[in-house]
Structure 1
Amino acid sequence: MAWKPSDDLSHTVALEVLLHGPLSRSDLARRLALAPATLTRISSELIDAGLFVEVPELAEKRTGRPSIPLDVIPGTHHFLGVKLSGDTLMAAVTDLRADILRYEEEPLASTSPVAVAAQIAALEARLRVDEPPAAIGIGLGGVVTDGRKVASAPFLHWQEVPLADLVEAACDAPVFVANDLTAFTESQHWFGVGRGHENFAVLTLGIGVGYGCVANGRLLANEDSGVGLVGHWPLDPFGPLCVKGHRGCAEGLLAIQSIERDVSTALNRPVGFEEAVELAEAGEPAAREILDASGRGLGRLVAAVANLTAPDMVVVGGEGVRLAEVAAASMRDGIRADRDPRASEVVVELVSGGNDSWCRGAAVIAIQGYVLDRTGSLHGSQRNPREIAEHR
């Protein structure tokens, strides 16, 4: 079934329910400033088209007649979200609200762009639910232009790769490509902890340190998105070196490999990230000291983001998110150190750091491309979904 509301106003209503539903007709009319008769007509059309359904009756808190909420039918559309790392292909099939139905990952057989496109097509066929996906989203670490071409992806050694064209040639679905942090941020914006918030920031911890920002309901992004500029933000003038020789920068303190290196050196044996976290939790002195130093650095980075962008909250995710859990007290110390005591408390939300969360982000890029009928760039053109619908 295609997502084809009959006009811009119907599209606005459909998006509002997709992003914030289930919603009663009275709530919809109030949120969108629509006359009840207009909303009744539109909702009836969307129900008849199979895009809306009336869900079980819920009595509203205010007095008066119970209202029957409207909702989309998530299972009528499926999307494929793909995350590419330097050596692994991860993919998830989701419904219209990016809830994961199937997930699989496998080693990349080759980093040749043609071979990667063929491997994506093979994985899509294995994960397929009934029919080809409505759209495919691909996220990767690098710079993406026009939502289609990978300008550079260091982990894959790619330059100017027309990835969307290659995958569309191998799969029967439209393809949208984005920097993985952009995709992750948009997944929090549309269907995650950022839903309903006009202003929030995202920090991801993993091989590198990533930063995303939504301001006034719009993703902030430009041609530099994907370069990873926050990774070398200075945090501790006496801290460890990063791979580029910067002392005490975000990557030197917060990247997974930096923590592994420092704990391994302190204990004189190889220590992986998960073991380092477990040792710190158990009170091993060296691991505890190293993770607390990283936690304070993370707090200082959160404070810098909050001071500069005034978000409602800072979302922390990525494979290294457990740092924020085990060093929570030190992170708060770092925030307080760089935050004016008169300022409001910084709300920090931790979200899943699993590989499937990156695939969900890529699926959201596919969902956005599909329901917004995008043909242009996914970078630097993100607007509030209602605004997009009203100006299509």
Structure 2
Amino acid sequence: MRSPGHSRPPVAGATGSLVFTTVLTGGPLSRADVAVRTGLSAAAVTKAMKPLADAGYLVEVEETAEDQGARRVGRPATPVRVHAERCYFAGVKVTGDELIGVVTDLQATVCAVRHRPLRSGAVEDVVTELAALVSELLGESDSYRASFGGLGVSVGGDVDPESGMVRYSPFLGWRQVPFVALVAAATGLPVRLENDVRALTVAEQWFGSGVGAGSFAVVTVGTGIGCGLFVNERVVSGAHGVAGEIGHLPVDKDGPLCHCGNRGCVEAIAGNSAILAQISETTGAEVADLASAIELARNDPAARRVFAVAGHAIGMALAAVANFLGPERIVISGEGLAAYDLFSEQIRTTFAEHAFGAAGDCDLIIRPLSFDDWARGAAAVAIQRFIAPHTS
């Protein structure tokens, strides 16, 4: 693969990153607005913005005639915004049978999408296919290669972003895989690895439902049950790279066996494969996928009860998150939301019963996202590292 051009923006340490990030996530903003939001002096903001503007990362917003009429007499407070097309990023979500790739601009707007099936989950095969996918994506426009900022890759399971190691991915059957080193060697690109749910949380933090929130959580429902946590201005990774694993929160000591070795985990009850297995066992009907299970449950009370039990487990998990963290909001997403109408009542009832006191005031936001959005999350991780490496 021909190596794209890439360089970091001219930010002066943490101050420059803070100013750039503030405009990126909240802009357009005047310099005075940036000073208020960051707590920096006007002089410090101007000093940090100048090299970014000179390099084309920040541009002033042209004032319209309406703005001119509304503006009071005096020196105008010209808003500044990020020039989103100044730099591009690639993001890839790795699943058990497919790679989903996107190219985004600096504000995580998706510019190109490609999916690539995996013939094998073997590490070398995934790396080869991933490199080919990224090459195709970057080949869609000369601009992508000329102004490239980095590649983000997200994988479900226990990953260590700092070492670039996939320590354990149950859906791929990987253990101790030096994935970043392998992908970087195959692509010639700067690569950032992250757990898929944490990557999605970064995207929500900077560009989605988490913007402006002091704390929030993202809970994903689907093949697995995941949770990303945002506290004290950063996504929580945990001391050992593991945090928010609510899928392995035990809610029924006599429940089904989980792949982690314990019984009654939320994921063993409410994960897609668990729901399919329970419906087959309960009804005797063979259901090949979630869509078939949903269709059956529309008319079969026994199948519908399986979804209600899953909703109870998810509600218990959400209440645990609210009780432990006390977030302003919990964003619920994932491919499992296709069945939301079948278990939404049980989720909300159980949450209300088990959330303690004011923790129950937490907003539950339903946000359906496609796998393309998960790949966008991987790109958001690359954007974050590009702009503010000290925050990740």
Q: Which bin holds the TM-score, normalised by the shorter protein? A: 0.7 to 0.9
Partner of 2:303: 287
Q: CA shift at 1:225, angstroms?
A: 3.7
Q: Distance in 2 between matches of 1:362 and 1:147?
A: 17
Amino acid at match of 1:326: L
| 1:135 positional shift | 0.5
Q: Supply the distance in 2 between the matched residues of 1:294 and 1:40 (Cα, whole angstroms).
A: 53
**Structure 2 match to 1:87:** 97
TM-score, normalization by structure 1 = 0.85
Residue 33 of structure 1 aligns with which residue? 39
Q: How is 1:195-210 mapped onto 2 (pairs within 5 angstroms)?
A: 195-210=211-226
Contact map agreement 1:5 1:14 (CA 8 A) in 2: no
CA–CA separation in structure 2 for the residues paired with 1:198 and 1:254: 29
Are the equivalent residues in 1 in contact too, given 2:20–2:387 (CA < 8 A)?
no
User: Is 2:111 aligned against 1:96?
Assistant: no
Q: Distance in 1 between matches of 2:29 and 2:243?
A: 39
| 1:171–1:127 Cα change, 3 Å | same
Does the aligned pair in 1 maintain the 2:31–2:79 contact within 8 Å?
yes
Asked if 1:143 corresponds to 2:149, the answer is no
Give 1:389's aligned residue: none
Q: CA deviation at 1:343?
A: 4.9
- In structure 2, the residue matched to 1:4 is 9
AA partner of residue 278 (structure 2): D
2: distance between equivalents of 1:154 and 1:294? 21
Which residue of the partner structure matches residue 330 of structure 2? 314
Summarize deviations over 1:323-363 as a string: whole Å, max 9, x none: 44432221111012212456542311122342112211111
Could you tell me which amino acid in structure 1 is paired with residue 149 of structure 2? A
Secondary structure of 1:288's aligned partner:
helix
- Where does the alignment leave 5 or more consecutive residues of structure 1 unmatched? 375-381, 384-392
In structure 1, the residue matched to 2:79 is 69
* Cα RMSD for the two superposed structures: 2.8
Q: Which runs of 5+ in 2 are unaligned?
A: 1-5
Residue 293 of structure 2 corresponds to which residue in structure 1? 276
> Cα distance, 1:209 vs. partner?
1.4
Aligned to 1:269, what secondary structure does the other structure show?
coil
Report sequence identity in percent.
35
1:14 aligns with 2:24: no
Q: CA offsets per residue over residues 255-294 of structure 1, 9 Å max, x none?
A: 00111122233332222212333444x4532232221222
Q: What SS is found at the alignment partner of 1:168?
A: helix
Post-superposition offset of 1:222: 2.9
Question: Secondary structure of the equivalent of 1:150?
Answer: strand
Match in the other structure for 2:266: 250
For 1:379, the equivalent position in structure 2 comes to: none
How do 1:1-392 and structure 2 match up within 5 A? 2-8=7-13, 9-40=15-46, 42-57=48-63, 59=67, 64=72, 67-128=77-138, 129-130=141-142, 131-132=144-145, 133-145=148-160, 146-222=162-238, 224-225=240-241, 229-236=245-252, 239-242=255-258, 246-271=262-287, 272-280=289-297, 282=298, 284-340=300-356, 343-373=359-389, 382=391
Q: Partner residue of 1:388? A: none
Report deviation, 1:22.
1.6
Q: Offset at 1:117?
A: 2.4
In the alignment, the residues of structure 1 paired with residue 317 and residue 173 of structure 2 have an alpha-carbon distance, to the nearest angstrom, of 29
Could you tell me which amino acid in structure 1 is paired with residue 29 of structure 2? L
- Distance in 2 between residues matched to 1:50 and 1:317, nearest whole Å: 35
Taking the aligned partners of 2:98 and 2:264, their CA distance within structure 1 comes to: 30
> 8 Å contact 1:197–1:217 — kept in the other structure?
no
Residue-by-residue CA offset, 1:50-103 (whole Å, 9 max, x unaligned)? 11122244759x984674321101122111111112222221111112221111
Query: Residues 264, 363 of structure 1: CA spacing in aligned structure 2 closer, same or farther, 3 A cutoff?
Result: same
Deviation of 1:123 after TM superposition, in Å, equals 1.1
Asked if 1 retains the 8 angstrom alpha-carbon contact of 2:127 and 2:186, the reply is: yes
Name the amino acid aligned to 1:318: G
Mapped to 2, the partners of 1:4 and 1:64 lie a distance apart of 35
1:56 to 1:342, Cα distance in 2 relative to 1, 3 A = same
Q: CA deviation at 1:302?
A: 0.7
The worse-fitting range, judged by mean Cα deviation, of 300-309 and 165-174 is: 165-174
Q: TM-score, normalised by structure 2?
A: 0.85
Alignment-derived partner of residue 3 in structure 2: none
Asked if the contact 1:142/1:227 (under 8 Å) is kept, the reply is: no
After TM superposition, give the deviation of residue 223 of structure 1 in Å: 5.5
Measured in 1, the distance between the counterparts of 2:216 and 2:11 equals 33
Displacement of 1:5 after TM fit?
A: 2.3
Alpha-carbon distance in 2 for matches of 1:189, 1:334: 27
Aligned to 2:336, the other structure's residue is in SS state: coil
CA gap 1:289/1:187 in 2 versus in 1, 3 angstroms? same
My pick for the range that moved more, 283-292 or 252-261, is 283-292
Tell whether the 8 Å contact from 2:27 to 2:81 is kept in structure 1 after alignment: yes
The range that moved more, 233-242 or 310-319, is: 233-242
Output the amino acid matched with 2:91: G
How much has 1:216 moved relative to structure 2? 1.2
Q: What is the rounded CA distance, in whole Å, between the counterparts of 2:245 and 2:324 in structure 1?
A: 15
Deviation for aligned residue 1:125: 1.5
Q: What is the aligned length? A: 374
Distance in 2 between residues matched to 1:248 and 1:151, nearest whole Å: 24
Rounded to whole Å, the distance in 1 between the matches of 2:193 and 2:155 is 8
CA–CA distance in 1 between the matches of 2:38 and 2:239? 33
Call closer, same or farther: CA 1:349–1:292 in 2, change over 3 Å: same
Distance apart, 1:154 and its partner CA: 3.4
